[in-house]
Amino acid sequence: MRFSVVSATREEGRKFWWVLDTEPETQPKKPFAKEMEAGRLDVSASGSGEWYLHVVTAARDGSLASEAFHLRVCIDMLAPPAPVMRSSTHPLAPRRSKVRDIVISWDEPQDLSGIVGYDYTLYRSGVMGMRKEKSGSTTDKTMKFEKLQPGLWDLSVAARDGAGHAGPPGKYPVFIADLQDLCVSVKSESWRVSQVGMEVELRDGERVIKKTKTDGNGEAWFKDLQYGAYTVIVGMEKMNNPLVFDHVKLEEGEAHVLFEVSLAGAAWTICRNSLRFWIQSSWVDGGRVEILDRKEAKVVAHRFVELAKAETWLECAIPAGMLEGFFQLMGGPLNKLQWPPIRFVRLP
Residues in Cβ contact with 201 at an 8 Å cutoff, skipping those fewer than 6 apart: 208, 210, 211, 232, 233, 234, 235
- Residues 92-143 have pLDDT tens digits of 998 999 999 999 999 999 988 889 999 999 998 765 555 668 899 999 999 9
The reported pLDDT for the residue numbered 269 is 87
In the prediction, which pLDDT does 295 show?
A: 59
Helices (H) and strands (E) in the chain, counts: 0, 29
| pLDDT at res. 64 | 64
* Residues contacting residue 136 through CB under 8 Å, at least 6 positions apart: 119, 120
| Nearest Cα residue to 255 out of 90, 84, 144 | 90
At residue 334, the pLDDT reads 44
The pLDDT mean for the chain works out to 83
Question: Does the 179-345 domain belong in CATH 3.30.365.10?
Answer: no
Question: Where does the pLDDT of residue 90 fall: very low under 50, low under 70, confident under 90, or very high at 90 and above?
Answer: very high
pTM over 0.85: no
CATH of 85-176, one of 2.40.30.30, 2.60.40.10, 1.20.120.80, 3.40.50.1220: 2.60.40.10
Using CA atoms, how far residue 277 sits from 15, 36, 191, 213, 268, in Å, is 86, 82, 14, 23, 4
- Please determine, for residue 45, whether its predicted confidence score (pLDDT) is greater than 90: no
Predicted pLDDT at 216? 95
Instruction: Answer whether residue 293 shows pLDDT above 70.
Output: no
- pLDDT confidence band for 310 (50 / 70 / 90): very low
- What are φ and ψ of residue 334, in 5° steps? 60, 10
Categorize the per-residue pLDDT at 177 as very low, low, confident or very high, splitting at 50, 70 and 90. very high
